[in-house]
Amino acid sequence: MPGSAGRSGGPKPGRRSRRRRGKRLTTVNETSAGGLVVDPARRQAVLIGRLDRHGTLLWSLPKGHIEDGETTEQTAVREVKEETGISAHVLRELGTIDYWFVAERRRVHKTVHHFLLEADGGELSDEDVEVSEVAWVPLTELDTTLAYSDERKLARRARALLAENRVNGR
C-alpha cells in the first residue's frame, strides 16, 4: 500500500497505546478527618505547610487518618493537635471533600471530613514529620493562601458561619 512502508500496525506516532502494561492498580478507600481551627478573637486560622514533590510549600488544613474506635470529631481534634500543636474543640461540621490519587501502586479514593474548630490553647509546632511549617493566617487571607480550591470553599463557608454567629450546630 502506498504510504504504509515501515508501519507495524501499532499506534500512530505521538499517541499512547491504550493497552495497560503490567498489573492493574489496586483501588483502596481511605477516610480522614481534620478541619479549620480558628481563633475568633484574633480572626485567624492555623494552617499547615507541606512540601510537594517539587519542593513547593503548599498550605492546607490539618487532617489525618481515623484510628480504630475514633469518631471523625475525635480524629479532627487529635490531628489538629499533632500537626499544629494547638488544642481545639469542634464547633460544627464544615463539609466533606473526596478525591483520587495514586500512591505506592495503589489508586486511592480519599474522603476527608472537615470540621470548624475553635482553638483552646497550645503553641504552634511543626514537629509532625509530615508538616514543614505551621502558621496563623488572617481569615481574610485564606482564599489566597490555601493551595486547594475545595479547602478554600470550606474556608469561605466557615467565615460566613462565623460572621452569622452560626457555629454551634445551629
- Angle (CA) 160-162-65 rounded to 5° is 90
Per-residue pLDDT at 15: 54
- Summarize pLDDT for 35-47 with one digit per residue, the tens: 999 998 999 999 9
Domain range annotation of the chain: 26-163
Query: Does the pLDDT of residue 19 top 70, yes or no?
Result: no
Q: Confidence class of residue 94 from pLDDT cuts 50, 70 and 90?
A: very high
CB 107 within 8 A of CB 27: yes
CB 124 within 8 A of CB 85: yes
Q: Which residue type does 59 have?
A: W
- Summarize pLDDT for 109-154 with one digit per residue, the tens: 999 999 999 999 999 998 888 899 999 999 999 999 999 999 999 9
Q: Confidence class of residue 24 from pLDDT cuts 50, 70 and 90?
A: confident
All three cell numbers of 116, joined, read 470548624
CB 118 within 8 A of CB 44: no
Taking only Cα atoms into account, the Rg of the chain, rounded to an integer number of angstroms, comes to 21
Kindly indicate whether the domain formed by 26-163 is annotated with CATH number 3.40.50.460.
Answer: no
Stronger pLDDT, 166 or 140, i.e. the higher one: 140
Per-residue pLDDT at 4: 47
